[in-house]
Chains A and B, each alone.
Chain A
């Protein structure tokens, strides 16, 4: 490609090395326009998604990349903390990230209506996820494999509980405007989602990581409620298995959900999380907690721990570990499903 100034622009460059003309100027203007429009109508998710895409098309080190990066960081921080962004013309109304601020002003009736709307939104997302062919086919394949080992109903319910966990990640990714693939199931491993864009900061990473176990806990709690309602011991088994899988995902290593959560925790918070895990192990004697504790202790002494605390991430992590451990202690009555 040759620039208007006469310089040949190499295919991988984002700007002409001579006159600095932006290669993707037209696309960038479209994205900026969409982002501004979304900001004006208070759609923070759409605004963030557009600025993220724009950032990928700007040369690193340019003034534009710095400014758009700062805007992405501000929007991301606001979404992670559940408050309006510090700068920019984003209206207070609308946007899932405003939930935290709104929650405080709930009246009883308003709270009920908002709660129902919240559940309806999540249910819609759960159904929409099944329209992706890759997700559905890999789910069916996984059900088939598990069926041969665990039986029909357990296979279906376990795969559904993993699906709910993955859709938690999808919901968080959408909230932060990050592009990602649909969940793909792998028998024996669970499921995975490939991120097409990187999280802007550790807090964002932690929210996305912990959203999976939060939703997974919801699925396990639902299964347990089913057991309490007399649907049969199969539901208790699903609740316990789901809780164990989600607890395993809190292992603070690598790309596991716990690993993402720990990236946002300061050293003292990592030590606090380790202390919580030690306490839970002392109470439950769940062997998996020893593995989590060991990994958390190693993470606490790593040099890359952030300086600032993230109380939300620590609270979510500790709360999840506690409730999931409790569910792992469920007694599953023997005698097969009713």
Chain B
């Protein structure tokens, strides 16, 4: 591979940079099943693999979680939304400060929970779910203020009124920006991931006959 002897670690000064050198020998084996590659190979997320493993990985990636997955994502997201609202009240009680920035944490928690619930598949329906639950958690923190302002109001009406607070300018421009960032966080975390895969690519006969 190289006519130069190995260099001491930490001294890259005289490295040969024409060919990569691997300690374990032949990387022209499938990175997943270690089978020797013959004739062609596929590339999945920067790794070389055989046709069977490529098919299995792409198939697993494209499989949708279905209604059960959506329900699990909704349940996990709702739990995270409740936890997020709880953190807001807990921090307020602990420190005496009302941190609007917790909206971003709520978006992160809900986004991660939905992402977990749907097995990382993502997509617009999970993004919408995460955004809705994040918004619910954020406006849920306004409910005590709504109760204080409106003496006789039931819980659903209080939540409904709270949901319109940001839209009626009740949180100011900074509050709107922070809420928007929280919602964006939840949306981003549930984007449908793209699997980087290509192939088949031809292997030179000399390589796979070795």
Contact = CB atoms under 8 A, between A and B. Distances in A.
A189 B178 CA distance: 7
Q: Which one of B20, B22, B177 has the greatest number of beta carbons of chain A within 10 Å?
A: B20
Given A5-B207, A287-B95, A14 B12 contact: no
Interface in A76-125: 86-89
Interface residues of A, number: 58
Nearest to A187: B177
A195 interface: no
Nearest to A285: B96
A132 interface: no
A175 interface: no
A330 interface: no
A294 B95 CA distance: 11
B13 A145 contact: no
B27 A64 contact: no
Q: Which one of A28, A145, A254, A287 has the greatest number of beta carbons of chain B within 10 Å?
A: A287
Interface string A42-86: 000000000100100011011111111011011000000000001
A284 interface: no
Contact of B201 (A5, A9, A71): A9
Interface string B1-21: 100001111111101111111
Contacts of A187: 173-174, 177
A13 B19 CA distance: 13
Given A8-B202, A18-B207, A88 B13 contact: yes
A149 B101 CA distance: 17
B9 A67 contact: yes
A13 B46 contact: yes
B174 A145 contact: yes
Contacts of B23: 61, 63
B95 A288 contact: yes
A12 interface: yes
A68 B28 CA distance: 23
A62 B22 CA distance: 5
Contacts of B96: 287
B201 A10 contact: yes
B18 A21 contact: yes
A61 B21 CA distance: 9
A162 to B, nearest CB: 14
Contacts of A74: 10
Contacts of B45: 12
A290 interface: yes
B28 A18 contact: yes
A225 interface: no
A99 to B, nearest CB: 23
Given A7-B204, A64-B17, A17 B94 contact: no
Nearest to A36: B13
A7 B202 contact: yes
A29 interface: yes
Given A22-B18, A88-B10, A12 B196 contact: yes
B207 A188 contact: no
B20 A17 contact: no
A20 B9 contact: no
B174 A61 contact: no
Contacts of A68: 12, 15
Nearest to A253: B105
B91 interface: yes
A309 to B, nearest CB: 23
Nearest to A190: B101
Given A7-B207, A18-B203, A291-B94, A70 B17 contact: no
A25 B175 CA distance: 51
Contacts of A189: 101, 104, 177-178, 181
A287 B204 contact: no
B21 A64 contact: yes
B177 A63 contact: no
A88 B21 contact: no
Interface in B174-196: 174-175, 177-178, 181, 196
B11 A67 contact: yes
Interface in A249-273: 254
A29 B9 CA distance: 18
A7 to B, nearest CB: 4
A335 interface: no
B10 A86 contact: yes
A238 to B, nearest CB: 18
Contacts of A36: 13
Top-6 shortest CB links A-B:
A18-B207, A10-B43, A287-B95, A6-B204, A8-B201, A188-B174
Given A11-B43, A12-B198, A17-B48, 17 more contacts: A5-B206, A5-B207, A8-B201, A8-B202, A10-B41, A13-B48, A21-B19, A29-B17, A58-B20, A62-B21, A63-B21, A64-B12, A71-B10, A187-B174, A188-B177, A287-B94, A290-B94
8 contacts: A5-B207, A7-B207, A15-B19, A17-B41, A18-B28, A87-B10, A145-B177, A189-B104
